[in-house]
Amino acid sequence: MDLLDDSAVEQKLAAVPEWRREGDEIRRTITASDFPTAIRIVDEIAVEAEKLNHHPDIDIRWRRLHLALTTHDAGGLTEMDFRLASRIDEIAAAH
Ligand SMILES: C[C@H](O)[C@H](O)[C@H]1CNC2=NC(N)=NC(=O)C2=N1
């Protein structure tokens, strides 16, 4: 998987407006209604991540999930990060 250049990253970020670029990562926060819901969201994300074989870093703080995506094998941002970001947004929107 090839690293995306800065203009490609900016272009792809436009499609996932909840996400922000932080260096080699894109990050977003999901606020759930309560802690069990936050964990259910994490579980649904885990299923999608496994399907894609692409996994986020997840920092769970009560109802808030801080997510970070990067492609470790490539050492930065690739198409896979934006594909999973889009799946994560669908999951978040369903709760
Ligand atoms: C062998 C390698 O660990 C796998 O191909 C997957 C697992 N999940 C992954 N997740 C992320 N975020 N980046 C990777 O490079 C990655 N690689």
Residue whose CA is closest, atom 2 of ligand 1? 73
Residue whose CA is closest, atom 16 of ligand 1? 54
Mean pLDDT of 19-38: 98
The pTM score is 0.96
Q: What is the share, in percent, of the chain residues with pLDDT greater than 70?
A: 100
CATH superfamily of domain region 6-93: Transcriptional coactivator/pterin dehydratase (3.30.1360.20)
Closest by Cα among 26, 63, 60, 34 to 46: 60
User: In the structure, what pLDDT confidence band is assigned to residue 1 with cuts at 50, 70 and 90?
Assistant: confident
The domain segmentation of the chain, as residue ranges, is 6-93
12 φ/ψ angles, rounded to the nearest 5 degrees: -70, -30
- 60: which strand partners? 65
Q: Report the C-alpha gap between 14 and 73 in whole angstroms.
A: 24
Kindly give the number of the ligand 1 atom that is closest to the alpha carbon of 56: 12
